[in-house]
Every structure is written in C-alpha cells, then in structure tokens.
Amino acid sequence: MSLKLLVVFFALFVAGAWSSMPGGLRDVDFEDSGMRNALELAVNKHNLAKNDMFRSDVVEVVKAQSQVVAGLKYIITVKMARTNCRKNRPNECTFTVWSRPWLREIQVLNEQCP
C-alpha cells in the first residue's frame, strides 16, 4: 500500500515540476501585448517578403506560446488569408519571434508558411 502511495506522490511531483519548468514553453493569452507586438512584426515581415501585390492578414490565432530565453521567444500559430478575397482558405503559419525589451530589440527567428 505504501509503495502505491509513494508512486502516486512521485507522479504528482513530477507532473507539477514539469508544468512549471523554467525555460519551458507556456501558453500565452491571445490578448497579451507582447505576443500581439511579436505577431504584428512577424506578419509585416511576412508581407514584405511575399511576392504578392495583396497583403495577408491574420484570420485567427490558433496557438500562442512563450519561452524565457534571455528575453522571450514567442511561437505563434495563426491562420492567414489574402485581404482581397474571403473565399480563399486561410493558410496556417507559425512564427517564432525573439523579444528582448531591455535592449529594445525584437526579431523574427523563423516562419513556416505554405
């Protein structure tokens, strides 16, 4: 009986430690101002790099996470569509953005968009 209890407590301890692991990914509220700034930068950079006369815009934020890495790294998955046509199926894009506010620096590290 005590062995079972020990195993249960150990499992709860590991689960609790895992959920609050320093440097681990954490879900971010879609209204978080840091996430919104990172997303705006990523979308603007995406539009500048595209060879398209129409701008793409965010239709829906699917997932937003942050990670503490000498600043904050945001990993944001969004659905995007061209602004001139609502009939097109939106593309799902994932942007990785690194923010170091004390240096007033923010940069897009990676973009995955079909």
Res. 81 pLDDT band, cuts 50 70 90: confident
In this structure, is residue 108 part of a structural domain?
A: yes
Q: What's the rounded Cα separation, in Å, for the pair 60 and 76?
A: 11
The predicted model scores a pTM of: 0.69
Range of the domain at 35: 23-112
Domain membership of residue 43 (yes or no) is yes
Neighbours of 62 (CB within 10 A): 14
Q: Which residue has the higher pLDDT, 6 or 40?
A: 40
Count of other CB atoms within 10 angstroms of residue 20: 8
Q: Is 18 within the bounds of a domain?
A: no
Can you give the CATH number for the domain in which 73 is found? 3.10.450.10
Q: Name the nearest CA neighbour of 43 among 6, 77, 15.
A: 77
Q: How many domains does the chain have?
A: 1
Q: Which parts of the chain are beta strand (E)?
A: 26-27, 56-68, 72-82, 91-100, 105-112
99 or 13, which is more confident = 99
Q: Could you tell me if residue 82 is inside a domain?
A: yes
